[in-house]
Structure 1
Amino acid sequence: MIKLPTQKMSTLLAIHGWSAVALGLFLYVVIVTGTLVVFDRELGQWASPTSTALNSPLPAGTGKVITDFAGGLNPDYLDEVFVFPAAGDHLRMFFHNHTDSGEEVGVLALLDPAQGTVIAQYEGETAEVFRQLERGMLVEFLVRLHVRLLMPGSWGLIITGTLGFALLVASISGLFIHRHLIRELFTLRHRKGALLTARDAHALAGSWNLIFALILSFTGAFFSVGSALGLPAIAYVAFGGDVETLSEQLLSPPIAENARHQPLADLEHMLADAGLRSGVAPVGFAINHWGRADAALEVLVAPRDGELWGDKLLYAAGSGEFLGVQPPLGKAPSLGGDLVALMSPLHFGDFAGLWSKILWFALGASSAYVCASGLKLWLKRREDAPRWRLLARLNIAVTQGVVLAMIADALVYFLAMGRGLPMYELLLGTFILVLLASTVAALCFAGSRVAQVLQCLSAAGLVALPLVRMATGGPDWFEALAGGHTVVVCVDAIFALAGCAWLWQQRCSHLRATVPMMVGVK
């Protein structure tokens, strides 16, 4: 039991409540989308599967395909090359350079490693080419919504970083507010009234979720604020504002500059060597200065069993010589570099494979519930005050409308796939339209009725997703299993069962509300 003076407890309650009121709805959007993004790879395989499932992100022969493709590009685009996994076991290849104005210009290509073919490519500025993606844009859109709330430039990172700090404040204040923390871990009173049950459920979920919320808020704020403000601030202090020089000092491989022309060594051999040295499969790589004597190849390999992150193996790409393991940060191993590397597995929950993802998904869903229920309880205490009624209706519109909007985006994605339409704009427009419609409905009609209708639509959308996916050209279950895409069948089944269960729950809730009214009439 944590004992605090009455005045301090009142202050903490005010901080805890007002942090939720000020930013709770935005925080809910970030948490809900982040909960889904935990399974970004699985969702990508479900929405955009390759012709055949792969056991390795970079199967044998991929290096030659990439080398042959690079041979047909403008040599200026070979200054920096990134190859990394994309949705559905595809690979993204980004060949680019930096213009005098600081913009990145290049070619983004999508590779099907199973067939060894490039299935799409786009040329232009970075922001534009990534917006032109069609295959895999569903997951990409969810990631952008989670990371930046669809805001341009650094504004989105600043906002999500602020939301991370707000969650950190709410978590720390919640630790002191729950004075009987151990008891609240196991308390849920069903027969003491609906309001008390709701308070117990909020406290129960918040108590079990407390450590996760602290981890999530700190790592999320680190990624957002570190990218938007941290690096520029360090660059301003130590390098006169030159972010590019700072990045070279912290992240670039330690190879002396040499602009002399030299062909790239056998990329296929270097990737195979990285797999043999590390004992695990490579998952992506980067090449700096392709075609120069100072070319560097950094191969990222998957984590070994029992490790939280994978190594980055460094090669002199011109000669093929192995130079060693590149530290996560800086030129030499350090505690700071290890702590930075630790942030990603803790935030995304991929440190123990599928089981840690399931745990992170459950905790993320619990966090979303704590966020929504906390704001609802805060407003319930002030339901007689007219000035808070608008926020109460907005709470219904956002908490229910965001879920419906994401399901609608998935349906639009399948319906628009292969039609040459601007996929990002379609998903953005659908999301905004559904959210606006939910808001208008919440403002014009009874809140409880609107919530029920939105939940029924969401449940029906989940049931429809597998059918629409197959009807628009996606593999059916027999084709998916024959191609090794077990995840496609699993995700279909989960969505269909979740939608049916949700519809049944809504029907039972409607009956519980209707029967007493009918009895009262008789």
Structure 2
Amino acid sequence: MKPATTRAWAVVHTWTSLVSTVFMLLLCLTGLPLIFHHEIDGWLGVAAPAPLTAGAPASVDTLAARALADHPGRVIQYIGWDEHEPGLAFVILNATAGSHPNDSITVNYDAARAEKLGPASSALMQVVLRLHVDMFAGLPGKLFLGAMGTLLVAAIVSGVVLYWPFTRRLAFGTIRPRRRTAWLDVHNLMGIVTATWLAVVGLTGVINTLSEPLIGRWKATELDAMTLAHRGEPAVTAKASLDRVLATAREAAPGMEAAFIAFPGSGFSTARHYGVFLKGSTPLTSKLLQPVLLDAGTGAVADTRTLPWYLTAILVSQPLHFGDYGGMPLKLIWAALDIVAIVVLGSGLYLWWTRRRSAGAAAFALAEAR
């Protein structure tokens, strides 16, 4: 590689890293406990699923009625079933059906007895999640973190390009004894070892930050087309049985099981339709959802179709980002890689600071000599 090209890549690596490092450190530090959020909530005595009752799930109508009775003044936005705990159902409630998700509460229920178990997450993990997702800044915060993730990917690519020119005379894994040189060797070694993982987590994180505008696009195009034939129909006064709605949705998508029900007026339905989202039974298809739109008054199927590619990309990217599709062994691997990523980011910041300080000291000495 020509020296001028190397210098250009070095500039790209330095500035993309510098701009994004503080925010990437925030994401790594908050992402580490999120990998184990189920376990941490259990240790805190929150969202503990036991004791769950064995047997068939209770009537969805009974579950909805119980949740509304437990939370007067609120309405249900979603009812769903936990994929990790078959006996666990969750209910998401808010002030109105169309209220923002950040204002909602999520409560766990025993799916067989429709009995309240408690909040689905501790206050601590909710704060950590908000910091990780949008820094309490809503959509602008999500998009900003997406931009930082894009810079991280650019830093990874430029770092990989620079790895060979800077280390070609060293055996792989060499750590030289001088303090700053040792940190440089650690930074290079850990960076190249984790480059692929960092790129995957960074790209999937960027995709996840786009979820809100992409869901808005789906509602404006696909969902709008699914309800075109029902425009102008009168508002629903008496709603159909949820059990009937769920049974009809399963008939429309044979071999699939319900993931969650979106109530009329919520983010994944319309003012006069239920949205039942079903998933497959294999490890891969369980991450892919198929929506069935049903008339809220009659329970009849209005339309069903597969999700567009961009929403499928979000669904696939989420488990890759958090490493929660392979059980505890994969979580431990993700956690170890996250810690290595923190070392890479921290060492890069340290190297920049010491180089800047050394350059400043040299310039001061030169000025004094004159």
Task: Give the equivalent residue in structure 2 for 1:310.
Answer: 288
Check the 8 A contact 1:112/1:119 in 2, yes or no: yes
Q: Does 1:42 align with 2:39?
A: yes
2:27 corresponds in structure 1 to 30
Residue 295 of structure 1 aligns to which amino acid in structure 2? H
Deviation at 1:149, TM superposition (A): 2.2
Among the aligned pairs, what percent are the same residue?
Answer: 18
Question: Shift of the alpha carbon at 1:253?
Answer: 8.2
Counterpart Cα distance in 1 of 2:173 and 2:100: 56
- 1:267 counterpart = 2:243: yes
Aligned match of 1:67: 64
Query: CA, structure 1 residues 264+154, in 2 after alignment: closer, same or farther (shift >3 Å)?
Result: same
Query: 1:301 and 2:279 equivalent?
Result: yes
Match of 2:196 in 1: 211
Aligned twin of 1:12: 9
Alignment of 1:91-240 (within 5 A): 91-95=90-94, 97=96, 108=105, 110-113=107-110, 116-118=114-116, 136-150=122-136, 152-179=137-164, 187-190=172-175, 192-225=177-210, 227=212
The answer as to whether partners of 1:168 and 1:214 remain within 8 angstroms in 2 is yes
Task: Provide closer, same or farther for how the CA distance between residues 352 and 307 of structure 1 changes in structure 2, counting only shifts above 3 A.
Answer: farther
**In the alignment, is the contact (CA less than 8 A) between 1:303 and 1:310 conserved in 2?**
no
- Structure 1 pair 283/356, CA: closer, same or farther in 2 (3 Å)? farther
**Which residue is 1:81 aligned to?**
77
- Name the counterpart of 1:482: none
Give the Cα–Cα distance (whole angstroms) in 2 for the partners of residues 51 and 213 of structure 1.
33
TM-fit CA distance, 1:177 = 0.7
SS at match of 1:381: helix
RCO comparison, higher one (Cα < 8 Å, 6+): 2
- Residue 19 of structure 1, CA deviation: 2.5
Report the CA distance shift for 1:368/1:269 in structure 2 as closer, same or farther (over 3 A). same
Aligned residue for 2:358, secondary structure, equals coil
Whether the 8 Å contact between 1:162 and 1:221 is mirrored in structure 2 is yes
In the alignment, residue 142 of structure 1 is paired with which amino acid?
Answer: V
Aligned residue pairs: how many?
A: 348
Deviation at 1:371, TM superposition (A): 0.8
- Equivalent residue for 1:364? 338
Give the C-alpha shift of residue 60 in structure 1: 0.6
For 1:124, the equivalent position in structure 2 comes to: none
From the two aligned structures, give the one with the greater helix fraction. Answer: 1
1:249 pairs, out of 200, 218, 221, with 221
Q: Do the aligned partners of 1:97 and 1:105 also contact (CA within 8 Å) in 2?
A: no
**d(CA) in 2 for partners of 1:74 and 1:139?**
22
Q: Return the alpha-carbon distance in structure 2 between the equivalents of residues 325 and 272 of structure 1.
A: 12
Q: Distance in 1 between matches of 2:254 and 2:169?
A: 46
Secondary structure of the structure 2 residue equivalent to 1:327: coil
Cα RMSD (Å): 4.4
| Amino acid corresponding to residue 172 of structure 1 in structure 2 | V
TM-score (norm: length of structure 2): 0.74
Q: Distance in 2 between matches of 1:106 and 1:384?
A: 49
Give 5+ residue unaligned stretches, structure 1: 121-132, 232-242, 330-334, 388-522
CA distance 1:177–1:303, shift in 2 (3 Å): farther
Counterpart AA for 1:368: I
CA deviation map 1:106-150 (0-9, x unaligned): 974624326633467xxxxxxxxxxxx795222211111111223
Contact kept, 8 Å, 1:63 with 1:271, in 2: the verdict is: no
Partner of 2:367: none
Change (3 A) 1:144 1:184: farther
Residues 40 and 139 in structure 1, CA contact (< 8 A), matched pair in contact too = yes
SS of the aligned residue for 1:371 comes to helix
Name the structure 1 match of 2:50: 52
In 1, distance between residues paired with 2:117 and 2:141? 31
Deviations 1:215-250 (A, max 9, x none): 2222222332564xx55xxxxxxxxxxx96862434
Q: Is 1:377 the equivalent of 2:351?
A: yes
> 8 Å contact 1:188–1:197 — kept in the other structure?
no
Partners of 1:188 and 1:34 in 2: how far apart?
Answer: 27
- Where 1:94 maps in the other structure, the secondary structure is strand
Deviations 1:292-317 (A, max 9, x none): 99432313436523447233352525
Aligned partners of 1:279 and 1:184: how far apart in 2?
Answer: 58
* Cross-structure match for 2:306: 327
User: In the aligned structure 1, how far is the partner of 2:222 from the partner of 2:170?
Assistant: 44
